[in-house]
């Protein structure tokens, strides 16, 4: 998904008008989905490692953590969490000239400094 959004639209923009600088909605949604996919892939790998550690642990309370029901809940929580955290891209992204991104926005600068 990340490769399709990241590289696919760049290749499309070589011979056609770049949709990222033509459409504000596309500019915002592309950045939002791109960020979510990057963060989800990192967190899923991290929690897969934790799950594997828990399933091979000698301690019974850790092995109880490695159940499919708990894994599904954690996946849903991770998706909801990153969908909310990345929403600043939907709010602050704008198009100026041939650039899609956060441009001279004091609120965005404050958000990123936290």
Q: What residue segments make up the domains of the chain, in order of their start?
A: 2-113
Please write the tens of the pLDDT for every residue from 34-44: 889 999 999 99
Cα atoms in the Cβ-side hemisphere of radius 13 Å centred on 21: 11
Contacts of 56 (CB under 8 A, 6+ apart): none
Q: Which pLDDT score, from 0 to 100, does residue 64 have?
A: 87
Beta strands in 1-114 (DSSP E): 94-96, 99-101
Q: Which residue has the higher pLDDT, 98 or 111?
A: 98
High-pLDDT (> 90) share of the chain, %: 34
Pairing mode, strands 94-96 and 99-101: antiparallel
Q: pLDDT band for 4, please (50, 70, 90 cuts).
A: low
Q: pLDDT band for 6, please (50, 70, 90 cuts).
A: low
Whole-structure pTM value: 0.78
Contacts of 17 (CB under 8 A, 6+ apart): none
């Amino acid at each position: 998904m990340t490769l399709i959004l990241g590289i696919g639209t760049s290749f499309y923009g070589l011979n056609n008008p770049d949709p990222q600088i033509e459409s504000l909605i596309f500019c915002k949604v592309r950045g939002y989905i791109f960020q979510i996919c990057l963060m989800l892939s990192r967190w899923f790998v991290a929690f897969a490692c934790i799950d594997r550690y828990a399933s091979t642990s000698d301690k019974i309370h850790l092995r109880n953590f490695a159940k499919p029901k708990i894994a599904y809940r954690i996946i849903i929580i991770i998706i909801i969490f990153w969908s909310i955290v990345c929403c600043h891209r939907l709010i602050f992204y704008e198009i100026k000239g041939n650039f899609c991104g956060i441009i001279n926005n004091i609120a965005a600068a404050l958000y990123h400094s936290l």
